[in-house]
Structure 1
Amino acid sequence: MLAYTHPSCLLHDPGPDHPESPQRLQVVLDALHARFPGQLQWRPAPPAKLGDLARVHETELIDLVLQAQTAPLRQLDMDTRTSPGSASAALHAAGAGIAAVDAVMLGDDPLAFCAVRPPGHHATVTSAMGFCLLNNVAVAAAHARDRHGLERIAVVDFDVHHGNGTQDIFQHDPRVAYYSTHQAGLFPNSGLRRDRGAGNLLNILLPPGSDGLRFRNVWADEMLPAIDDFRPQLVLVSAGFDGHLRDPQADLMLEADDFAWLTAQLHQLARRHAQGRLVSTLEGGYDLQALAECSVAHVGALLEDAPVTPGG
């Protein structure tokens, strides 16, 4: 299994009081290296090119994110900030998904995990928001569509917050289907069941306090059958772990085993329809211990039925 990251992703620093801290990525990297020595083939994430970003973002947003910065902090909205290292971090976070898509499509390995930050799924066509600067999974999906000619790409988002940016970007493109469960009444207060787009959207809201049983039932009864019917040629995952019961940003009651279960289901689905091709990208998760545990559970579920690859 491939794993992509880059030191630049640790240099995005929105301030000591901000929940989207560099420590988030560091604990994930430490946990994965400790738990899976020799089982992950680590590769450096290249920077995305401007043309890659322009498939999903307006030029004004790209220029804003990549603008040179000397001030310690720049406020983009009420909860999204950049630092001097943010532009490089955002470019490499987006580039990880592009490189991972190329690798799985060219047969290097069917599975890849992008251990990157800042997260991306709130970034819309025109706006950075919700801790997100560029939409990493959307950039990867557009690359898979345009460069590899795929006609059925599934973006699966189990972050506790709705990926409003991903929906915004693809809601009129039936080649990219978006599937999300997220907590009701939570930022960004979007992602309603009635949102259908071009028939390529499925959102299910989970009431605060929902536990693993409810989460699994929703996926087993509605979400996974819908993805199965779509028959994706590639599965892209927005892997947010802020639905964990210890996470301070939300009120779901999920545990690491719940994320492992869903990951295994998505892996089986990818094997049925997409020759096993699945690329996962880190999104949210703000309790450091829970984030490390869930990342290990997620990657472990992908590795369980996957061949061991050299690396480390």
Structure 2
Amino acid sequence: LNLADEVARGHADNGFALVRPPGHHAEHNAALGFCLFNNIAIAARYLQNQHDLEKILIVDWDVHHGNGTQHLFEEDPSVFYVSTHQYPHYPGTGSYSETGSGAGKGATLNCPMKAGANNETYTEVFTKKILPAVELFKPDIILISAGFDAHQADPLGGINLTTEYYSWMTQRLMECADRHCSGRILSILEGGYDLDALALSVASHIKTLKHCNDVA
């Protein structure tokens, strides 16, 4: 939450929270999938309640769908949840048809990927679906559920992203942040289970974030 304060107050353009355990599987009443507390959801509500940032975008590129995050915000139109993930795969949620409910209908965008998807597959989805949706939403801040287990070397997934591709996704979101929310991005570590691939991918992500004036 201290990092959220720094970014929200403009003391840093963006920041990366190097935390464990991950959080996006945690539900409001249950720990799940290595996750005890839903870190990204806590940060989103904190930013709304303490910093009056109304429209929160969460982009989750972990190889697993963030069931907990989706369920926590699926009726809330002020939080737009976007997920790219292997499907079918654990935890079994995240189909195209899951778009939110009630007042939050349309504020969930799931982009399920078949095993074997690669940089080109993701680029098409980002270009044709995710980035246009972000432009329409116009967030006040962008949060990233930054899982790195869609890397081609990760033992728990079947997606084939390269280390450098995490820089590409980061850059695209930074461009959106520059247009809509004064560059504000808060990234929080999720999964990643090949330690070498995780270290290199995190470094690629942080290096790209540091192209801003400051990184917390």
SS in structure 1 opposite 2:134? Answer: helix
- One-letter identity of the residue aligned with 1:227: V
SS in structure 1 opposite 2:36? Answer: coil
Q: Is the 8 A contact 1:145 1:175 kept in 2?
A: no
Deviations 1:151-189 (A, max 9, x none): 210000000000000001111111111000100111001
SS in structure 1 opposite 2:206? Answer: helix
The within-5 A match list for 1:11-90 is: none
Q: Is the 8 A contact 1:263 1:302 kept in 2?
A: yes
Shift in Å at residue 126 of structure 1?
A: 1.1
Which residue pairs with 2:174 in the alignment?
Answer: 267
Which residue pairs with 1:219 in the alignment?
Answer: 126
Q: Is the 8 A contact 1:152 1:232 kept in 2?
A: yes
Higher relative contact order (CA 8 A, sep 6+): 2
Shift in Å at residue 220 of structure 1?
A: 1.2
- One-letter identity of the residue aligned with 1:264: Q
Matches of 1:224 and 1:100 in 2, distance apart? 25
SS in structure 2 opposite 1:236? Answer: strand
Matches of 2:153 and 2:8 in 1, distance apart? 36
Matches of 2:78 and 2:39 in 1, distance apart? 18
- Any runs of at least 4 consecutive aligned residues in structure 1 with deviations exceeding 2 A, and if so which? none
SS in structure 1 opposite 2:85? Answer: strand
Which residue pairs with 2:190 in the alignment?
Answer: 283
SS in structure 1 opposite 2:120? Answer: helix
Which residue pairs with 1:6 in the alignment?
Answer: none
Matches of 2:214 and 2:172 in 1, distance apart? 20
Residue identity over aligned pairs, in percent, reads 42
Alignment coverage as a number of residue pairs: 212
Deviations 1:96-145 (A, max 9, x none): xx212211111211211000100000001111000000000000001011
Q: Is the 8 A contact 1:216 1:258 kept in 2?
A: no
**Larger radius of gyration, structure 1 or 2?**
1
105, 129, 132: which one pairs with 2:32? 129
Deviations 1:267-286 (A, max 9, x none): 11111101000000000000
Structure 1 residue ranges without an equivalent (≥5)? 1-97
Deviations 1:218-251 (A, max 9, x none): 1111011101110000000000000001100010
- One-letter identity of the residue aligned with 2:17: C
Q: Is the 8 A contact 2:24 2:69 kept in 1?
A: yes
Residue 104 in structure 1 maps to residue 7 in structure 2: yes
Matches of 1:176 and 1:162 in 2, distance apart? 17
SS in structure 1 opposite 2:186? Answer: strand
Shift in Å at residue 308 of structure 1?
A: 5.0
Q: Is the 8 A contact 2:12 2:214 kept in 1?
A: no
- One-letter identity of the residue aligned with 2:155: P
Matches of 2:2 and 2:67 in 1, distance apart? 24
* CA gap 1:120/1:308 in 2 versus in 1, 3 angstroms: closer
Shift in Å at residue 146 of structure 1?
A: 1.3
- Scaled by the length of structure 2, what TM-score is found? 0.95
Which residue pairs with 1:166 in the alignment?
Answer: 69
- One-letter identity of the residue aligned with 1:283: E
- Scaled by the length of structure 1, what TM-score is found? 0.67
- One-letter identity of the residue aligned with 2:99: R
Q: Name the stretch that deviates more: 175-184 or 191-200.
A: 191-200
Which residue pairs with 1:117 in the alignment?
Answer: 20
SS in structure 2 opposite 1:102? Answer: helix
The within-5 A match list for 1:233-248 is: 233-248=140-155
